């Protein structure tokens, strides 16, 4: 399809236009409350450690074990409404910074929620809070709902053929009709697909993300053509570098399997002119995502939602699936990776689709009991992602009778040199940890396990153990 420049420009989505649409929905469909009720009066951030299910665990631990860590953001408005959002700390389109939090405090949540620069967790929480305050679902704030149900995909990283087959079966058991994974040279992709497809009906689809590892069209096509012999194989994502427009065009023309690219490279206009892919992977902040959706609608190209995290993020994604016309490929949220859900009720999938919620805000409630259980055992002095140092305060020792000095001395009996104590002075009971770069991962894992064990013993009332430490030194 050829789009004129005027038609393309008419699809641009401005923040002012999005804000006007949201405000109209609030006062048309929602509770008629004063603008001052939407003032952001408090923002809280909590890091949780979410354990993977057994099959994902042995595969995720090989490549991206840090996907366990998520930051939950809670925004409270002047009217008392509290919204929840999430940032998967080591895989996100935008982390919420301390500066973003300070900028949002005291502001209007309606004005703020379309600002993508605030980061994933804060933006999501603002949308949820505004929806709850106005008693409208998030999709009403985004636009007009065009789908009552939206497709979802099961996701796991590259695995053995046996694990992939087991995951496909589990996905189908839970109502999913598609499975997305990574195509990687260290696994036999033919064995993976052959083993998985043997137990699947043709209508269950397998999508493979190669992340440009097939190098070029000449090397990619023999592999892709062989895989397409299986009716379950449905979408290839980025088989070769996306900048290779001609190579991707050759692949798209030569295979019956749909080819997907991340939106933006090459330019969307280049994609339309060249036909180098069949649809877009779309993610990012709300304003960016709505702009991507508008272009896909005008160019009649499918859109593959990719908003990654726990069930909180998956719930947010459902609302975009409800308002984006071209969100017809099954959304990838990765929330199936985790043992426990941060929601009080599951996202139910039947026939590969989930219902777009119509309840206020995200339409799901946060499971605070699970969140409390997953909250890490030591308390960071400041929210956010650490760099080369990790700084904790002694809040986690409150009421235990154990001091920072006691904790550090007990660490000696675990076989580790204590961390820096009581510095910096501005942090109460500070514990400053800076591992050397020469330590292997297994040594760091052992160190973390010792910290967790000691924290658990302190909270269990074993203060005498700490007061007597160290026992194993001269």
Cα–Cα distance for residue pair 213/189, rounded to 1 Å: 13
Cα–Cα distance for residue pair 82/79, rounded to 1 Å: 9
* Residue 75 and residue 125 in contact, taking contact as beta carbons nearer than 8 Å: yes
Q: Would you write out the chain's pLDDT as a tens digit for each of its 474 residues?
A: 445 444 444 445 566 778 777 877 777 766 656 778 899 999 999 888 899 999 999 999 999 988 998 999 999 999 999 999 999 988 999 999 989 999 999 999 999 999 999 999 999 999 999 999 999 999 999 999 999 999 999 999 999 999 999 999 999 999 999 999 999 999 999 999 999 999 999 999 999 999 999 999 999 999 999 999 999 999 999 999 999 999 999 999 999 999 999 999 999 999 999 999 999 999 999 999 999 999 999 999 999 999 999 999 999 999 999 999 999 999 999 999 999 999 999 999 999 999 999 999 999 999 988 887 777 778 788 766 667 788 889 988 999 999 999 999 999 999 999 999 999 998 999 999 988 777 887 888 888 888 988 998 998 899 999 999 999 887
Closest CA to 124 of 82, 154, 161: 82
Cα–Cα distance for residue pair 147/463, rounded to 1 Å: 58
Closest CA to 433 of 445, 448, 443, 446: 448
């Amino acid at each position: 399809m050829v789009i004129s420049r005027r038609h393309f420009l008419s699809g641009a989505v401005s923040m002012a236009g999005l804000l006007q649409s949201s405000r109209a929905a609030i006062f048309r469909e929602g509770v008629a409350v004063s603008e001052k009720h939407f003032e952001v009066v408090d923002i809280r951030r909590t890091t949780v450690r979410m354990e993977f299910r057994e099959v994902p665990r042995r595969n995720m631990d090989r490549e991206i074990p840090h996907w366990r860590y998520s930051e939950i953001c809670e925004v409270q408005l002047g009217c008392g409404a509290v919204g929840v959002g999430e940032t998967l700390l080591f895989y996100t389109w935008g982390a919420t910074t301390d500066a973003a939090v300070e900028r949002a405090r005291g502001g209007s949540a309606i004005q703020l929620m379309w600002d993508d620069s605030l980061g994933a967790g804060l933006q999501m929480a603002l949308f949820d809070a505004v929806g709850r305050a106005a008693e409208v679902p998030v999709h009403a704030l985004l636009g007009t709902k065009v789908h009552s149900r939206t497709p979802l995909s099961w996701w796991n990283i590259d695995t053995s053929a046996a694990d992939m087959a087991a995951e496909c079966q589990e996905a189908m058991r839970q109502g999913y009709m598609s499975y997305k994974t990574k195509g990687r040279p260290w696994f036999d992709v033919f064995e993976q697909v052959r083993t998985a497809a043997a137990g699947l009906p043709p209508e269950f689809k397998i999508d493979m993300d190669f992340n440009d590892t097939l190098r070029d069209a000449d090397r990619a096509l023999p592999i892709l053509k062989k895989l397409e012999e299986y009716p379950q194989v449905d979408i290839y994502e980025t088989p070769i570098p996306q900048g290779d427009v001609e190579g991707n065009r050759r692949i798209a023309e030569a295979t019956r399997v749909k080819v997907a690219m991340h939106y933006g490279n090459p330019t969307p206009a280049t994609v339309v002119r060249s036909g180098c892919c069949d649809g877009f992977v779309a993610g990012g902040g709300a304003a960016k995502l709505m702009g991507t959706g508008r272009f896909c609608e005008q160019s009649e190209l499918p859109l593959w939602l990719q908003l990654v995290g726990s069930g909180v993020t998956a719930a947010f994604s459902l609302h975009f699936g409800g308002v984006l016309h071209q969100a017809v490929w099954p959304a990838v949220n990765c929330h199936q990776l985790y043992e426990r859900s941060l929601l009080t009720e599951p996202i139910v999938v039947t026939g590969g689709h989930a219902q777009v919620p119509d309840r206020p805000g995200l339409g799901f409630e946060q499971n605070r009991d699970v969140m409390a259980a997953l909250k890490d055992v030591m308390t960071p002095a400041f929210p956010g992602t650490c760099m080369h140092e990790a700084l904790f305060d002694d809040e986690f020792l409150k009421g235990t009778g154990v001091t920072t000095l006691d904790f550090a001395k007990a660490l000696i009996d675990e076989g580790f040199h204590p961390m820096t104590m009581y510095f910096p002075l501005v942090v109460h009971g500070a514990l400053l940890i800076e591992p050397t770069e020469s330590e292997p991962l297994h040594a760091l894992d052992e160190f973390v396990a010792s910290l967790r064990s000691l924290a658990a013993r302190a909270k269990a009332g074993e203060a005498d153990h700490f007061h007597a430490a160290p026992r194993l030194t001269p």
